Amino acid sequence: MAGSDHTRSRLIDVELDESIGRSTPDVEHERAVAIFDLIEENSFQPVNDSGTGPYRLKLSLAEQRLVFAVAREDGTPVVTHILSLTPLRRIVKDYYMICESYYDAIRSSTPSHIESIDMGRRGLHNDGSQTLMDRLSGKIDIDFDTARRLFTLVCVLHWRG
């Protein structure tokens, strides 16, 4: 039975609304990879949903807020949550800066320097993931690995190339 619960408390589709906007082919590729990774492995359960999943998630932006529109597999709406991006903005900005440093270091730095930058990058990614998980607390139950994949997607949504 636990196996069937796992297949029901999960996302099977993530769609980006037109409000997200489109970008360069490289950015679109990164978005597609982030969505694929999220769908491939996740734990996702709207709080107080008496029905069953699996679920579809449509992400959109409205007035600098991230909108999570959750529906059942057949498209029946379940719930919509709107999250302010303000608590994530600084982390995403810092994450981009450290990623730039990481990619620059790969070209010219020592392995120990690259490793220390990568540790910082992973630490910021974890901070962003925890912040996102905290923001969704009481709304949508996700595990930390799902929060990490969602944070990656949020970062890619902000990346313009």
Mean pLDDT over 33-39 rounds to: 92
Mean pLDDT over 96-109 rounds to: 87
pLDDT at res. 5: 53
pTM of the model: 0.83
Mean pLDDT over 80-90 rounds to: 92
When pLDDT is cut at 50, 70 and 90, the band that residue 79 belongs to is very high
Dihedral angle computed from the Cα positions of residues 27, 148, 86 and 32, in that order, rounded to the nearest 10 degrees: 20
CB-based contacts of 27, cutoff 8 Å, min separation 6 = 156, 159, 160, 161
Q: Where are the domains of the chain?
A: 2-158
When pLDDT is cut at 50, 70 and 90, the band that residue 131 belongs to is very high
Residue 76 is classified by DSSP as: -
Residues above pLDDT 70, as percent of the chain: 93
d(C-alpha 41, C-alpha 56), whole Å: 14
The Cβ of residue 122 has, within 10 Å, a number of other Cβ atoms equal to 12
pLDDT at res. 4: 45
Distances, alpha carbon 145 to alpha carbons 52, 74, 129, 132, in Å: 21, 26, 8, 12
> Looking at the predicted structure, is the pLDDT value of residue 1 above 70?
no
* CA geometry: angle 95, 97, 98, nearest 5 deg: 65
